[in-house]
Structure 1
């Protein structure tokens, strides 16, 4: 059992069932853990919280479990109770953490539960833009966080392979008698889409033509289906190459078209249960009214007046399949989708609860809404042709990482500028390419993940390419630094253990507390997963790197009496950074 859980369990014996918190004090000088239990209980008992805290400390000090773990317990401030973990417990936990290997930092709070995460979801016949990067890497990070929280996890790349946009592409290709599929690629398909949109502004008849083409696609027209399938094949070839570069894997890639057969059944069910009704213009709609008939949300369109389906229809069909298919059925369904879809998804979830109350009663739908990304202050739009293409970004990032001057500190603490040629001396070009690709992709991913998913931000090349400060290259460098120290010591990494049985200064003790009581006990991963917040893990890793650099500047590691303990802490810092980056989808490098 984790230390924080033991403290919470013992304190709960004296709180009369009242909810209370056990947290880390903001000031580490005030202990390792702190609880507000006395202040919560004081309200119930009508007592002075400080006096009650003093009484509770006396009772807690008599608990055998706590005496084995805690050095001292003290009342603080208006009624907090602070706990200090014993040094020998921390020393022991260093070796336990190093022995945990791939389980280091994992939580088990979701054990026995299944989670499905939907993310990425690019549109067929459109190039994969940087705008899709947010959903892809945030979704993958959330998937990984729950995987390391004890849950059974699956994912779904819900491709945008159905809808009116295909009517535009079908109409455009059918009118071009010279269109050559042999030379067609996704760039060509996007050009067709952009050009058709521009022409629609001048010729409204083209919009009607596109709607008719999509209606033919839904009804199984051979020509429309052929164009659609070829577009899907061309698009997936590019997407798969990008996912390989990003180290993103999907267990399920189910486009909107996969749910086509379910839609008629859902439409009938909605009508039979009087959830859907005919609107003023003949469309079939779902209204959201309270008990008094007051509108809670705008109505959602289930079927258009021309008989074609909508995103709303297809997303309801998606829910239906996920609730009934054993491979997809889960306890929690996470939708990592842009914030502009908040209303839409709320309408979908509410309607699903009405259609299938028994099936949805015991599950949770969560929308992790990522904010908008602008390009140098301009909104990105495929229709307007001003998106940043992901392959362009990754290519530029890779080139800059190879040619970058890396500002590092040598092992004797002196700062120096090291040219890439010096760092990579003696290495094969393939090795240089591999390292630079890991650095560049890490830089791009972390640039997004360090922010709250819901945050809007302006994409700027200089920030995305930054190799300094709160960035993946900085964390990768600190990892390389820990390996360098260990290699210089001559100790075999897998043999490093803390032979010393005591700390010699507060720097050692505080670094151990930071690593063990937050990350090694699974607290960081659990909090980031519960809050769908990869940025929390990023913030922890950045602070870990800073704390280690400060520790190393003030403390010699090799050739000192406490070398064994300090090497263990150095190794643990490297392992924590490596594991944390792995969870958010970023690889470490051994040279930099």
Structure 2
């Protein structure tokens, strides 16, 4: 039982005539100062029913509540403040963490239910840029968090490998491309062609029309169009897989938009059979006025399909294939209207399982406040950024610990981890400005800071002459800084659940920073290895801290080196 449940149950025993257990739980707060207790219940909600001032209600509740499990329960103004029994709590928490190890915080909430997660999805024939980082690492973290809670995440890389842009790229290749030049440096050369042709298409409608015609040939199965497109795809995947290797991220399926090209007719026919398709200026649409949305354009006047046509086929395929309990799309916030239309069309077609689809949106990564744009050639390649981060980590390790045995491996873990952690500590709906200096710093709220706290604990444990013992905690239970760590460790299972419910890895990243800070504060004033009666209890405290720090980092896809 967690501390919030303990308090809620104690309150419910005397408030069952006025509030439900769920209502009580939702009202419980954490006081701003630990001097006011560990948890608090505000009595304002009861004033009208009980016809008493909140201060009087709080005072009465403090008298009536069973104090078992609490050091004390007291009223302060309109609040009932609960002080947990520190010794009992510390023993329970540390024993549980040490016994469970990395499984601490795991729970079978999902009962093995399938959760396809659409993530990463870079466009073939374009650089894997910093702009693709967010979908990749947020989706991977959400998968790990759901797996810890008993779901079966299915990571799908829905590659951007279909659409008019490939018709334009074929146009550029036919006009200016050279096979040998492209083979020598595929992505850079294809990017040059893409930027050039987009600039031309903007000025010359004939060029734009030529690109449209090449894409139409792709859709109609033209041999030459598909051969060139397949070549673009193959050379791109070689590049992408190298970057995924550096990130330490794997996928269950690489099924891009093209995978659904032969599955679109069925969904279009289905919409037509249900009387949902209407002609508008030669195109086919689904009217979504009742949802306060613009019409969904299903087919253009020339019969070409759009993103939404392919995404409708994708959604139906995933439901049939995986019978998902929920289906997640980790895609930028600028696509929110698209996903609202997608769900609305499915709903209109009678697919009520569309309620189980969630667009996990996120804000943009910028540089110098400016948006990245492949069309305009303004990109920062992710691989270059990762390599630079590793180089900077190597420099810091050379300064701080030049004799480190496995410095190259650690530098990779720190550098790549820094980039991933910086992204994930940002609330996903917010964006951030890309800054390597800030990312790779060992100071401040960064990945290396958390990793260093874990490595420092491992160093202490290697030097210890005793073994951790969670039964000897008299010193730990009375230390204010140790108590802050205990409370944080106790909260970890709730943190994992909250991160899953909100699809928000930043909840775990911020927790890891807070726990590392709590450890460093404790370490600054306590001689952990001092040979006295409290040694084994202190070792239990820091060992449990290391276990949870490592697991929090793992859920974010970040390694926790034992030495740094």
How high is the TM-score relative to the length of structure 2? 0.92
1:362-399 residue CA offsets vs partner (Å, 9 max, x unmatched): x4222221112222232211111110001110111111
* Residue among 422, 430, 439 paired with 1:447: 422
CA distance in structure 2 between the partners assigned to 1:245 and 1:301 by the alignment: 39
1:146-168 residue CA offsets vs partner (Å, 9 max, x unmatched): 22223222221111111001101
* Residue among 529, 554, 564 paired with 1:582: 554
1:296-338 residue CA offsets vs partner (Å, 9 max, x unmatched): 122221101110000011111111112211xx32222221111
Report the counterpart of residue 26 of structure 1 in structure 2. 32
Q: How many residue pairs align between the two structures?
A: 555
Q: Does 1:393 align with 2:385?
A: yes
Q: Does 1:40 align with 2:45?
A: yes
CA distance in structure 2 between the partners assigned to 1:372 and 1:242 by the alignment: 20
CA distance in structure 1 between the partners assigned to 2:73 and 2:79 by the alignment: 13
Report the counterpart of residue 352 of structure 1 in structure 2. 346
| Secondary structure of 1:443 counterpart | helix
- Report 1:123-142 matches (<5 A): 123-142=123-142
Report the counterpart of residue 200 of structure 2 in structure 1. 199
CA contact (8 A) 1:32 1:85 kept: no
Report the counterpart of residue 477 of structure 1 in structure 2. 452
| Secondary structure of 1:297 counterpart | coil
Report the counterpart of residue 544 of structure 1 in structure 2. 515
More helix by share: 2
Q: Does 1:333 align with 2:327?
A: yes
CA contact (8 A) 1:15 1:41 kept: no
Q: Does 1:366 align with 2:358?
A: yes
| Secondary structure of 1:382 counterpart | coil
- Report 1:424-443 matches (<5 A): 424-425=402-403, 427=405, 431-443=406-418
Q: Shift in Å at residue 92 of structure 1?
A: 3.2
1:458-481 residue CA offsets vs partner (Å, 9 max, x unmatched): 223322333321111111111111
CA distance in structure 2 between the partners assigned to 1:457 and 1:197 by the alignment: 28
CA distance in structure 2 between the partners assigned to 1:372 and 1:512 by the alignment: 34
Question: 1:452/1:256 Cα in 2 relative to 1: closer, same or farther (>3 Å)?
Answer: same
1:513-540 residue CA offsets vs partner (Å, 9 max, x unmatched): 3233212xx0111122212222221222
* Residue among 527, 533, 541 paired with 2:504: 533
- Report 1:188-337 matches (<5 A): 188-279=189-280, 281-290=281-290, 296-325=292-321, 328-337=322-331
CA contact (8 A) 1:375 1:387 kept: no
Question: 1:112/1:45 Cα in 2 relative to 1: closer, same or farther (>3 Å)?
Answer: farther
Question: 1:547/1:501 Cα in 2 relative to 1: closer, same or farther (>3 Å)?
Answer: closer
Q: Shift in Å at residue 74 of structure 1?
A: 2.6
CA distance in structure 2 between the partners assigned to 1:133 and 1:179 by the alignment: 29
| Secondary structure of 1:278 counterpart | strand
RMSD over aligned Cα atoms: 2.3
CA distance in structure 2 between the partners assigned to 1:535 and 1:178 by the alignment: 45
Q: Is there any run of 5+ residues in structure 2 with no aligned partner, and where?
A: none
CA distance in structure 2 between the partners assigned to 1:465 and 1:27 by the alignment: 32
CA distance in structure 2 between the partners assigned to 1:149 and 1:563 by the alignment: 34
CA distance in structure 2 between the partners assigned to 1:485 and 1:572 by the alignment: 13
CA distance in structure 2 between the partners assigned to 1:426 and 1:140 by the alignment: 30
Q: Shift in Å at residue 34 of structure 1?
A: 2.6
| Secondary structure of 2:250 counterpart | coil
CA contact (8 A) 1:423 1:591 kept: no
Q: Is there any run of 5+ residues in structure 1 with no aligned partner, and where?
A: 407-418
Question: 1:57/1:547 Cα in 2 relative to 1: closer, same or farther (>3 Å)?
Answer: same
Q: Shift in Å at residue 256 of structure 1?
A: 0.8
Report the counterpart of residue 490 of structure 2 in structure 1. 517
CA distance in structure 2 between the partners assigned to 1:249 and 1:391 by the alignment: 16
* Residue among 552, 562, 582 paired with 2:534: 562
Question: 1:139/1:359 Cα in 2 relative to 1: closer, same or farther (>3 Å)?
Answer: closer
CA distance in structure 2 between the partners assigned to 1:24 and 1:115 by the alignment: 33
CA distance in structure 1 between the partners assigned to 2:34 and 2:95 by the alignment: 23
1:538-561 residue CA offsets vs partner (Å, 9 max, x unmatched): 222112112111111111111233
- Which piece of structure 1 moves more, 231-240 or 109-118? 109-118
CA distance in structure 2 between the partners assigned to 1:364 and 1:257 by the alignment: 24
Report the counterpart of residue 105 of structure 1 in structure 2. 105
CA distance in structure 2 between the partners assigned to 1:352 and 1:436 by the alignment: 47
1:75-134 residue CA offsets vs partner (Å, 9 max, x unmatched): 333143524234123223212211111212334444464433211111111110000001
How high is the TM-score relative to the length of structure 1? 0.88
| Secondary structure of 1:160 counterpart | coil
Question: 1:499/1:208 Cα in 2 relative to 1: closer, same or farther (>3 Å)?
Answer: same
Report the counterpart of residue 144 of structure 1 in structure 2. 144
CA distance in structure 2 between the partners assigned to 1:12 and 1:92 by the alignment: 23
Q: Shift in Å at residue 60 of structure 1?
A: 3.1
CA contact (8 A) 1:125 1:232 kept: yes
Q: Shift in Å at residue 183 of structure 1?
A: 3.9
CA distance in structure 1 between the partners assigned to 2:63 and 2:112 by the alignment: 38
